[in-house]
Amino acid sequence: MQKFLQFNIREPKEGERKVSYSQFSMYSTCPKQWHLAYVKGLRTFSQSIHTLFGTCLHETLQEYLTVMYTESIKKADSIDFRTVLKDKMFNQYKEAVAQMDNKHFSNKFQLNEFYDDGIAILEWIRKRRTEYFSSKYEELVGIEVPIYHPVGADRPVFMMGFLDVVIRNTKTNKITILDIKTSTNGWNKYQKADKLKASQLVLYKEYFGEQFGVDKESIDIKYFIVKRKLIDGAMFPQKRVQEFVPASGKPTRNKLLKEIYTWVESSFNADGSYNEEREYPAIAGKNYKNCKYCEFAEDDELCPMKNRIKLK
C-alpha cells in the first residue's frame, strides 16, 4: 500500500459507532429489516454459494493484480489459478459450514460448476489483461484499501468500507477505484439504474478523497463486473467482463450524502447509540419484493404481515 495512504488510515476508537454501506442500503430498502437486524441485533450469519464464490474470485484476482503490479507480469501469469481458487473455495466453504453449525448450503456438483466458471473468468482476464490493466502508466495504490469516515451528522457514527482495487495513472495522476462484482450474466439496464446498487462507489469516491486528501475530480470509479455465464449460441462476440461507470459528479454525491445524513440523524442518538424511540416502517415493496430475501419475512411476530407497506 502506498505511503500516503498509510499515513491517513484512521483506526476506530472506543465509543464510535461503525456502520457500512450495506446497512444504509438495507435501511433504504426497508427500515424495519435494518431495525430488526442491527438495532435489535437479531441478524444471523448466513452464507450462499454466490457470496462464497464472489469472495474467493475477488481474492484470486486481487492476488493476480498484486503480483502483476508489484513484481512482474510474467510472475503473475504463472499463477496457477486452478490451485489457488480451489483451495480458497474449499477452505472458505469448510469455515462457513462450521459457522452455520455444520449446515451445508451447497453440494459438490454446484461447487464444481462455480469453480469451473471462476477458472473461465480468470483465464479470460489473463489472456486479455491489456484491455483492462497495464503496468506501463499504472501503479497499484492498494488492495482492500480501508475507508473509515464520519458520516457528516452530529453523531459519533463512522462509515467503514474497503476498496477492492485502487490504481493510479502515473502520467495523469488520476486515481481509479475498481469494485469487483460477480454476476451470473452481467448487469442489465435495471440493475444499472438501481441507485442503491450503483451508489456505493459514489460514496467511496467522496470519502476516499476526503480521507486521503485527493482531489475528488481526479478520481474515477468503475464497477468491474465478471460474468459466470455467457449466452449459448449468441450471434455476437461476448465478454466475460462488463465495465459500468455510474454518474458521480458533485450533485450526485451531495444528494447521497444528504440521504445518509438523514438516516444517521434519525436513527442514532447524540452519543451514537441506536434511536429506539422512533418507528421503523416495514416497506414490503411492489409484490412484496423486499421480503423475498429478508430473514424476518416468515416471522409474523417480529414483522406482522398486516403492517407491511406494499407499494404499487
Of the listed ranges 5-9, 170-174, 213-217, 297-301, the least confidently predicted one is 5-9
Burial (CB count <10 Å: 0-12, 13-18, 19+), residue 169? middle
What's the Cα-to-Cα distance from 107 to each of 49, 104, 129, rounded to whole Å? 9, 8, 32
- With beta carbons less than 8 A apart as the criterion, state whether 121 and 127 touch: no
* Residues making up the chain, counted from first to last: 312
Please state, for a pLDDT cut of 90, what percent of the chain lies above it. Answer: 87
* Per-residue pLDDT at 179: 98
Using the predicted structure, report yes or no on whether residue 153 has a pLDDT greater than 80.
Answer: no
Q: Rounded mean pLDDT of the chain?
A: 94
Mean pLDDT of 124-152: 93
pLDDT in tens, 238-249: 899 999 999 999
Tens of pLDDT, residue by residue over 249-297, are 999 999 999 999 999 999 999 999 999 999 999 999 999 999 998 999 9
**pLDDT, tens only, 57-103:** 999 999 999 999 999 999 999 999 999 999 999 999 999 999 999 99
Instruction: Name, in order, each residue with C-beta under 8 angstroms of 84's C-beta and a sequence gap of 6 or more.
Output: 60, 63
Residue extents of the structural domains in the chain: 1-40+136-281, 45-135
Is the pLDDT score of 232 beyond 90? no
Per-residue confidence band for 4, with pLDDT thresholds at 50, 70 and 90: low
Q: Can you tell me the mean pLDDT for 204-220? A: 95
Q: Are 67 and 75 in contact (CB under 8 A)?
A: yes
Dihedral angle of Cα 258, 260, 263, 269, to the nearest 10 degrees: -100
Q: Which residues does residue 149 pair with via DSSP β-bridges, in sequence order? A: 159
The DSSP 8-state label assigned to residue 76 in this structure reads: H
* Residue 1 pLDDT grade (very low, low, confident, very high; cuts 50, 70, 90): low
**Based on C-alpha coordinates, what's the Rg of the chain?**
21
Alpha helices in 35-179 (DSSP H): 49-70, 73-77, 81-99, 108-127
State the pLDDT at residue 5. 67
**Gap between the Cα atoms of 264 and 81, Å rounded:** 43
Which band of pLDDT confidence, cut at 50, 70 and 90, is reported for residue 299?
very high
| CA atoms within 13 A of residue 47's CA, in its CB half-sphere | 22
Confidence band, pLDDT 50/70/90 cuts, at residue 15: confident
Mean pLDDT, range 202-231, rounded to an integer: 95
pLDDT at 184: 96
pLDDT at 145 over 80: yes
Question: Under DSSP, is residue 215 helix (H, G, I), strand (E, B) or coil?
Answer: coil
Residue 180 C-alpha cell reads as: 469487483
What CA–CA distance (Å, rounded) separates 158 from 225?
Answer: 28
145: cell is 484499501
Q: What is the DSSP string of 221-243?
A: EEEEEEES---TT-SS---SEEE
Per DSSP, 2 falls in state -
Question: Distance between CA 166 and CA 157 in Å, rounded?
Answer: 25
Q: What is the pLDDT of residues 183-193, one digit of tens each?
A: 999 999 999 99
What is the reported pLDDT for 236? 80
Question: Containing H/E element for 197?
Answer: helix 195-212
Is 118 a residue whose pLDDT tops 80? Answer: yes
**Which fold, 1-40+136-281?**
Lambda Exonuclease; Chain A (3.90.320)
Supply 23's cell numbers: 446497512
The whole-number pLDDT of residue 46 equals 86
Q: How do 241-244 and 219-227 pair as beta strands?
A: antiparallel
User: What span, in angstroms and rounded, lies between the C-alpha atoms of 174 and 222?
Assistant: 13
